[in-house]
Amino acid sequence: KKQAMKPHIKEAYRYLENANAILKEKTTNDGKHYNDKKYVRMAGHTAYHAVLEALSPLMKAAIKELGKKHEDVQVARHAVGKVNKKMLQSFNSSYDYLHIYMGYDGQTLLQTKKTGFILAKEIIEWADENTTALGGIKTKKTRTKV
């Protein structure tokens, strides 16, 4: 029996699809670069939010632990690093590619987008395997009920 997709994972994929649609519908490329930084920035921010959405269950506990009021990059780093140091490297790279290079710098190189989206998918898949449908962290004792 196939389980329903966890709400935060479904939403993360929706953000990623929206980011891709922005680039496909709003700008063109010459095979190497996108032609409009504005839409690269929009897509980068949207794709970065896909990563944050996927990690949101992990960040809920980290917000309390760190005494923060909301999710931010330090909360995400703390939450991911606590569970998996290797995935923390992927998160840091996704932050750079999606949030900084695309989202702020408007880096138009297609390879930047490709790398950022590969990292985002890796994190979303990891979050799907390591969080429960109700938003907790999976442990050996935890069973996911959907």
Closest CA to 47 of 100, 109, 105: 100
Integer Cα distance of 135 and 133 in angstroms = 5
Which pLDDT band holds residue 144 (cuts at 50, 70, 90)? very low
Q: Could you give the 3-state DSSP secondary structure of residue 26?
A: helix
* Residue-wise pLDDT tens digits, 89-104: 999 999 999 999 999 9
* Residue-wise pLDDT tens digits, 34-54: 999 999 999 999 999 999 999
- State the alpha helices, DSSP H only, in 1-146: 7-26, 37-66, 73-83, 85-94, 110-130
Q: Could you give the 3-state DSSP secondary structure of residue 25?
A: helix
Helix axes 73-83, 85-94, angle to 10 degrees: 150
Q: Are 123 and 90 contacting, i.e. CB atoms less than 8 angstroms apart?
A: yes
Q: Record the pTM.
A: 0.88
Q: Are 108 and 37 contacting, i.e. CB atoms less than 8 angstroms apart?
A: yes
